[in-house]
Structure 1
Amino acid sequence: MAPPLRGGSILLAPPLFFLLSLGALGSQYCVPRKTFPYQDEDLRLFREEGVWNYSTMLLREEQGVLMLGAREAIYALDLHNISSKKAAVYWKVTREKQKECAYKGKQSEVECRNYIQTLHPVNQTTMYVCGTNAFSPVCDYMSYSDGQLLLHGRQEEGKGKCPFDPFQRYSSLMVGSDLYSATFINFLGSEPVVLRSSQTAVRTEFKSSWLNEPTFVYMDHIPESVDSADGDDDKVYLFFSEKAMEYDFYSKLTVSRVARVCKEDMGGQRTLQRKWTSFVKARLDCSLPEPSLPPIVQDVFLLKDHNWRRSVFYAVFTPQSGSSRLSAVCAFSVTAVREVFNEGKFKTPVAVETSHVKWVMHSGELPVPRPGACINNAARRLGMGNSLDLPDKTLQFIRDRPLMDEAVRPLTGRPLLVTRGPALTRIVVDSVRALDGKEYAVMFIGTENGFIQKAVNYEGEMFVIEETQVYEDPQPITTLRLSSTKGHVYAGSTSGVVQMPVSNCGRQRSCSDCVLARDPYCAWDLPTARCASLGSGRSAAVQSLVEGDTSKCPQPEPVPVIEVTLVPGNNLQLPCSAASNLAQVHWLLSDRPLGAGPRYYQYPGGLLLLNASGPDAGRYVCRSVERARGGTHNRTLAVYLLAPGLGGPGGAGKGQEGEAPVDKAVANSTAGPDIPGATAAKGPGPAEPGGPETQTDGGRVAGLRVAVGVLALLCLALTAALLWKVKREPLLRLLPWGGPRESKAKTPVTEYAQVQNHAASEGKTAGEAPGSPCLGNNHHSGVDFKGNGPPHFTSMRDISCLDGLGYINDESEI
């Protein structure tokens, strides 16, 4: 082996070095089309005073309840409205157990409580429930009937079924009457085990080659015996991460794994007695678009198909290094995972000169039957009816070599979705039939700051429909469940559980917005002229998911003209927000692109005109431009008519080119309050007393305004220099005068590259790839107005330096 590099460098085995170097061509990240901040009326919330860690959920759709496990409490909540509690049972630790736990060094009021970790159905009314019980796990049976929730009092030993530590991740699954669990079996949390609790209990070996400091994530059952030509057995798949044994690395490197066992595995006769004879594992590959250490799997969801061969695992990955803020979603087909285990080569340990073990691909012959395989027709023909009949040669091989050489590759060859910003935490996936008759997989992805993103893949193009803030205070989503029949997503966290509908079509107010949302749940209903759910089988509806084609939409109503009095020397604010995060705003002045100038500033909330003068009079049109496969969509959002003297006799109420007029009072109220510190039509008109011609010392005032303009330009140059220097860091953290006071409720999930929707744009910073909302997606690139438009600001806050330089809000300040 070559000597390690000097200077603190590390030496990597060639396969890992190649893995670290992988990256997609281009670093573009998915951007939600719209961001919806927290709103009480769209959500249902359940929490109870003094109860925390709402982390365990079980949907009992036949009974119409959501079973919710928390710290020392279990609830039965109405599945339609979880704010309605139907029943509850409280399962607290005894005072003696709590004292014993604290005596062993644990925190009495935090760790030494009973955290409900396991909830599985046994039959229509009975469930199996386990809790940590102050680091002494215990299980019991519980029933729900006639609105009553009852613990049976038949407590069982919970060791191996439930973790000791309430904050240690684990996974479990009930298959028939057998409980499969992946957890730690001792108080210290140092002995991991994958256990089947049944009449013939089977578990993993306590060997680092089987499980090496794992973090368990997810388990599920695949009925592979159904329609199996070779008489194969059902499988239980386990997803986890662990410290890798196969790479030469100074520090321990974590990798993501998938493992499987056979449902009918009974262990070996002499070798591997009461141990899995079918435990095999492989690395999961989900390469991020930047060179990095292998990302870590955080959550998995199995989207089941009636043909199990078409089922797909969707997995969320986050970086293991704090220097990266990327998260990804990768999809793995069941057939791809199965192929690696059934046909792939194994890794084998070999001794090297440095007296440690190196893992390489096993190139020798394999014993018969194949190690790690289930009992099938071929084994039965050899006289092997179950795993107890397997020969020692096969069992010894799999005992020492449970790791596959080949990694499981993503279904699409690369991540489906990549985001930059707060980490993704949990995922559920729904299968939706759209108007075109096709089925689409819609992903609901939780984040560490309390948002749920909704995304779908259209023929290789990843599209994030929206993101919704489900918690008023940012907090990680730790549990996510989906009820397709009820049409709701349930998100759990430390402080409570939230119910959110899978779609809220009414948020899209126009036909073009409804179609461009490309939401499989929604379509524009022509008879009622509203964006509505597809559930009622609408015959006259417009939906274009792949193309985003709005050509079938009716022509929108003309935008009313807002008349604004132009008073020379005043500062004018013309509010206008982009229609979505993927759109950009384009301003026209008298039907021509607004030219760049030191007095025009565009920001997500509109246009700011400093020190207005006579030549600025005219017709200002704000247009939102958004691209989709179906073409570029232009939409007029606002029209302003600036002219001296409007609002005098005969001035108000005049529209242009057939557009509906708006009186001056409405114009002023519309233009003013949107952005604090700016005014729509400041000062009296020429026909009123006190106009500009009556002001004293006009030369000094004009000079002050010129000075303010020059200082504003210097501030803009400084801002641009800072942006160029630090690139990815949000501007507001670096400006010397500090960022504005902003509400936590509007913290966004991702960094955006486009001009933002004002309702949700506060605090957003520019992404790395302007106009490119998603990896591998070239259909939504932003419109480039270089040379046509004035400088752009990320938000109104980016020009807060104007206030510090004496930005004049009112003539009285002079």
Structure 2
Amino acid sequence: MYSPLWFFIVLHGIFLACAYTGWSNLNSIPRKTIQYEDNHVITFKEKGVWNYSTMLIREDLGLLVLGAREAIYALDINDISVAKSKVPWKVTKEKQKECNSKGKHPDIDCRNYVRMLHQMNDSLMYVCGTNAFSPTCDYITYGDGRLKLEGNQEDGRGKCPFDPFQRSSSVMVDQDLYSATSLNFLGSEPVILRTSPIPLRTVFKSSWFNEPNFVYMDVVPESEDSPEGDDDKVYMFFSENAVEYDFYNKLVVSRVARVCKGDMGGQRTLQRKWTSFLKTRLDCSLPEPSLPYIIQDVFHVRHKKWRKSVFYAVFTSQSSSTDLSSAVCAYNVTDISEVFSRGKFKTEVNVEMSDVKWVMYNGELPVPRPGACINNAAKSAGIMRSLDLPDKTLQFIRDHPLMDDAVRPITGKPLLLKRGPLLTRLVVDDVSASDGQSYPVVFVGTENGYVQKAVNYNGEMHIIEEVKLFQNADPIDVLRLHQNQLYAGSASGVVQMPVSSCSRYFSCVDCVLARDPYCAWDATVQRCSRVPTSPENAKSNLIQSLMDGDATRCPTTAPVEPKIRTLVLGNNIRLLCHPDSNLAQVIWNFAGKPLPYSNRKYTIYNEGILVYNASAADAGRYTCTSVERAKGRDYTQTLAIYDLREQSAAVVTDKIKTTLGILSESYTTSSGLHKPEEPPSYSKNLSSESKWIVMQVALAVLSVMMACLLIWNLYMGHISPFMCCGRQSIKSPRNLPEREYMHTGNDAVDSKQQMVRLCVTTNSGLEATSFHRNITNGDTPTDICIFKYITDESEI
């Protein structure tokens, strides 16, 4: 008999299998991959300038204000390759030497990295830089087409980090600066600071911050339409070493904290300190047991009604035990607010023979509730501001800033799980599709220079495409979104790209299966076009199916024309076929039958097929088709058809002969012997492979023939380095010794000598000689040329 244990084991296995199936739907791969050479983006970078990591969009000025290392730029927001102005902001030699004397690298650390840019009003901006580990802030203006640094420098401690590579965050709210960074050179004193007429800061205590890494800050107008008379909140996201868990090593967790905008600190307790600071853990659960994921970036999708606002966050793994490296989770503002306003607190307790433990606080809470903003209930009790809060409430919040409950994501699980390169930054665009619905499209940057575009359809995360933005694979350090344009910054440059390029989809099926909210197939003009931003302007002839990916409405396409290719025996042949999608399965058919993937005869790869050592049996028709599955339907497209035709040996021989004839005729023509004849017309139709082979054979044969001809002429003595000019010795045939041929006349008294010269030439295979006799009669020379064919050496 089977024990109950076996039943529970089987049941547990079934549950895990179902859970894995559900989670695997979240782990997607991009449907399209656009390489750097094909991205068609606009770039900006200047030689010698690095770390383009701070951006401020000034829509009113039409500018993208860009902060880099020791420089600030004003770029045209429509074309960032156009730099309208530049302001250098370098460190002094004294500051650089002082920084170097403290053990920092002079050319890396001891420079001025612009880390903060905020708009204060229509004409004034606030900028801060690391300034060689001596943070400094200043004001900057833009007028008459140029940037100007005002020169009113302020101490930047608590506003800007000392270390240029340390994460920090800030936000400007009603000209009050909220910043999260470090207060000291070593980076060991973290702080959330408000720079205002009434400055506030956090308490330097491990229960408040324990080696944090600040990521993001923003304000939520919770006072709007609040029946409780609540205050606006500033939310901040960070990671830190957990104090509430027992672990053999430091365990990093992700947090969200908030403070009230109207906080003024305490009267006696928490003077000049936040009285409304609360924090809690952010949960981004994974399908398998693992360490908590670490938050890397956050984007606030604002809504007209703040209760519908959503925070999207990127997380990365801190464990090597899982191959799921990154995740994206989304959180409702109301869920976060609920934890802070009604959740339980954690408290420290001392346990014998052990360290301090953090447990849920079950005691009675002081009134007003610790950490709460000054609302109508507090005002009715005579508490008009935080300075009026009782010490009991302030002491409690000083010792209990941590909440017991964690904030869960909207769907209870990540929207996206990713393997491979880590995700670094994200922005989210709310897109209206042709069906009248709005879909949040997530753009996430990666550590190797890609941007991925993804959208979640009823719990299914679909990655539409990934685009490589930087050639040298730099991590994406900053992402900004503005009016259908995406701006990405890295260490080496800045890129501007449209949120969607519908022209990348060449067919109706490709356009519809992309499930891109920005794009739809226009049946009238037969191309993939941008969907109008207003649903009422959407055309009825647009074909788009985002939820179902239904391409059955697409018109039938024209059949693919076969391409004829020549099969040369013994050669390797490549046939190209590019699928439209990474999700499609490519199938090759030969003579109506599928080609096996594991055959040594063929290699099927993502760009086509290789046929090795082609034989006569490989001739025939090859068909490349792609099959892409969407919502239970298979969509098959024929991508390419090749007719591979064998080239017979006789044809190859004829072509070789023809090529040899052409070459020899060209040679004799260049020698001036006779005019070449026109080559046969069919030689013009040689394939590139055949022409190359024929050319190689022809050159080899011609080289051998020329070598043999040269050797034979040298052997026969037909070629001599001495030509018939002037007095010349004759090299006799058969390599006989040189000798002079002299003839003496009968008249010895006059001592007249007659010289006979012999010149050798070739004419129709016969040896001809020309005798020149110079006879001097007095002072008048007479040239007589006597030509005679010689058939025997004895005649010489």
TM-score if structure 1 supplies the norm length?
0.75
The SS at the match of 1:39 is helix
Is 1:586 aligned with 2:583?
A: no
Offset, 1:288: 3.0
Q: 1:167 to 1:611 in 2, by over 3 A?
A: closer
Q: Within 2, Cα distance between the matches of 1:647 and 1:524?
A: 50
The answer for the alignment partner of 1:304 in structure 2 is 302
Q: 1:571 to 1:129 in 2, by over 3 A?
A: closer
Offset, 1:382: 1.1
Q: Within 2, Cα distance between the matches of 1:647 and 1:557?
A: 37
The answer for the alignment partner of 1:498 in structure 2 is 495
Q: 1:195 aligns with which of 189, 193, 213?
A: 193
Alignment of 1:152-171 (within 5 A): 152-171=150-169
Q: 1:140 to 1:665 in 2, by over 3 A?
A: farther
Q: 1:680 to 1:261 in 2, by over 3 A?
A: farther
Letter in 1 for 2:560: V
Q: Within 2, Cα distance between the matches of 1:232 and 1:222?
A: 11
Q: Within 2, Cα distance between the matches of 1:462 and 1:303?
A: 18
- Contact 1:568 1:614 survives alignment (8 Å): yes
Q: Within 1, Cα distance between the matches of 2:649 and 2:201?
A: 84
Q: Within 2, Cα distance between the matches of 1:495 and 1:407?
A: 39
The structure where strand makes up a greater share of residues is 2
Q: 1:574 to 1:177 in 2, by over 3 A?
A: same
Offset, 1:170: 0.5
- Contact 2:621 2:644 survives alignment (8 Å): yes
Q: 1:205 aligns with which of 194, 203, 206?
A: 203
- Contact 1:255 1:294 survives alignment (8 Å): yes
- Contact 1:193 1:204 survives alignment (8 Å): yes
Offset, 1:599: 2.3
Is 1:523 aligned with 2:520?
A: yes
Is 1:510 aligned with 2:507?
A: yes
The answer for the alignment partner of 1:660 in structure 2 is none
Q: Within 1, Cα distance between the matches of 2:435 and 2:184?
A: 54
Offset, 1:538: 5.2
- Root-mean-square deviation (Å): 2.5
CA deviation string 1:161-194 (max 9, x = no partner): 1111111110000001100000000111110000
- Contact 1:267 1:277 survives alignment (8 Å): yes
Alignment of 1:8-157 (within 5 A): 27=24, 29-39=27-37, 42-157=40-155
The SS at the match of 1:42 is coil
The SS at the match of 2:545 is coil
Letter in 1 for 2:475: P
Letter in 1 for 2:476: I
Q: Within 2, Cα distance between the matches of 1:111 and 1:595?
A: 57
The answer for the alignment partner of 2:347 in structure 1 is 348
Q: Within 1, Cα distance between the matches of 2:121 and 2:429?
A: 25
The SS at the match of 1:82 is strand
Letter in 1 for 2:642: Y
The answer for the alignment partner of 1:608 in structure 2 is 610
Offset, 1:51: 1.4
Identify which range, 250-259 or 102-111, moves more after superposition.
102-111
- Contact 1:278 1:374 survives alignment (8 Å): yes
- Contact 1:489 1:499 survives alignment (8 Å): yes
Q: 1:683 to 1:554 in 2, by over 3 A?
A: farther
Offset, 1:591: 3.2
Q: 2:641 aligns with which of 622, 639, 651?
A: 639
The SS at the match of 2:379 is helix
Letter in 2 for 1:338: S
Alignment of 1:214-253 (within 5 A): 214-253=212-251
CA deviation string 1:784-813 (max 9, x = no partner): xxxxxxxxxxxxxxxxxxxxxxxxxxxxxx
Alignment of 1:213-612 (within 5 A): 213-322=211-320, 324-325=322-323, 326-483=325-482, 485=483, 487-535=484-532, 537=537, 539=539, 540-566=541-567, 569-594=570-595, 597-612=599-614
Offset, 1:386: 1.0
- Contact 2:586 2:625 survives alignment (8 Å): yes
Q: Within 2, Cα distance between the matches of 1:635 and 1:680?
A: 32
Letter in 1 for 2:87: V
Letter in 1 for 2:515: R
Offset, 1:201: 0.7
Q: 1:648 to 1:376 in 2, by over 3 A?
A: farther
Q: 1:614 to 1:327 in 2, by over 3 A?
A: same
- Contact 1:564 1:646 survives alignment (8 Å): no
Q: 1:664 to 1:287 in 2, by over 3 A?
A: farther
Whichever of the two has the greater Rg, that structure is 2
CA deviation string 1:442-493 (max 9, x = no partner): 111000010000000112211000000000111111111111x2x2111111
Q: Within 2, Cα distance between the matches of 1:345 and 1:175?
A: 30
Is 1:629 aligned with 2:631?
A: yes
Q: Within 2, Cα distance between the matches of 1:525 and 1:593?
A: 35
Letter in 1 for 2:526: A
CA deviation string 1:737-777 (max 9, x = no partner): xxxxxxxxxxxxxxxxxxxxxxxxxxxxxxxxxxxxxxxxx
Offset, 1:610: 3.3
The SS at the match of 1:100 is helix
Letter in 1 for 2:629: R
Offset, 1:47: 1.2
- Contact 1:563 1:646 survives alignment (8 Å): no
- Contact 2:290 2:321 survives alignment (8 Å): no
Is 1:620 aligned with 2:622?
A: yes
- Contact 1:211 1:242 survives alignment (8 Å): yes
The answer for the alignment partner of 2:778 in structure 1 is none
Q: Within 1, Cα distance between the matches of 2:30 and 2:348?
A: 46
Q: Within 2, Cα distance between the matches of 1:533 and 1:27?
A: 31
Offset, 1:120: 0.5
Alignment of 1:660-671 (within 5 A): none
Offset, 1:575: 2.0
Offset, 1:681: 11
Q: Within 1, Cα distance between the matches of 2:382 and 2:649?
A: 99
CA deviation string 1:266-289 (max 9, x = no partner): 111111111111100011111233
Letter in 2 for 1:502: V
The runs of 5 or more residues in structure 2 that have no matched partner are 1-18, 652-681, 699-796
Q: Within 2, Cα distance between the matches of 1:299 and 1:227?
A: 29
Q: Within 2, Cα distance between the matches of 1:632 and 1:278?
A: 56
The SS at the match of 1:342 is helix
Offset, 1:298: 0.4
Q: Within 1, Cα distance between the matches of 2:327 and 2:302?
A: 21
Q: Within 1, Cα distance between the matches of 2:683 and 2:336?
A: 67
The SS at the match of 1:337 is helix
- Contact 2:590 2:623 survives alignment (8 Å): yes
Offset, 1:617: 3.9
- Contact 2:39 2:468 survives alignment (8 Å): no
Identify which range, 48-57 or 207-216, moves more after superposition.
48-57
Count residues with an aligned counterpart.
641
The runs of 5 or more residues in structure 1 that have no matched partner are 1-21, 650-662, 670-678, 691-814
Higher relative contact order (Cα pairs below 8 Å, separated by 6+ residues): 1
Percentage of identical aligned residues: 61
Q: 1:646 to 1:402 in 2, by over 3 A?
A: farther
Q: 1:139 to 1:680 in 2, by over 3 A?
A: farther
- Contact 1:570 1:683 survives alignment (8 Å): no
Q: Within 2, Cα distance between the matches of 1:231 and 1:362?
A: 27
- Contact 1:525 1:531 survives alignment (8 Å): yes
Offset, 1:46: 1.1
Letter in 2 for 1:98: Q
Letter in 1 for 2:516: D
- Contact 1:318 1:424 survives alignment (8 Å): yes
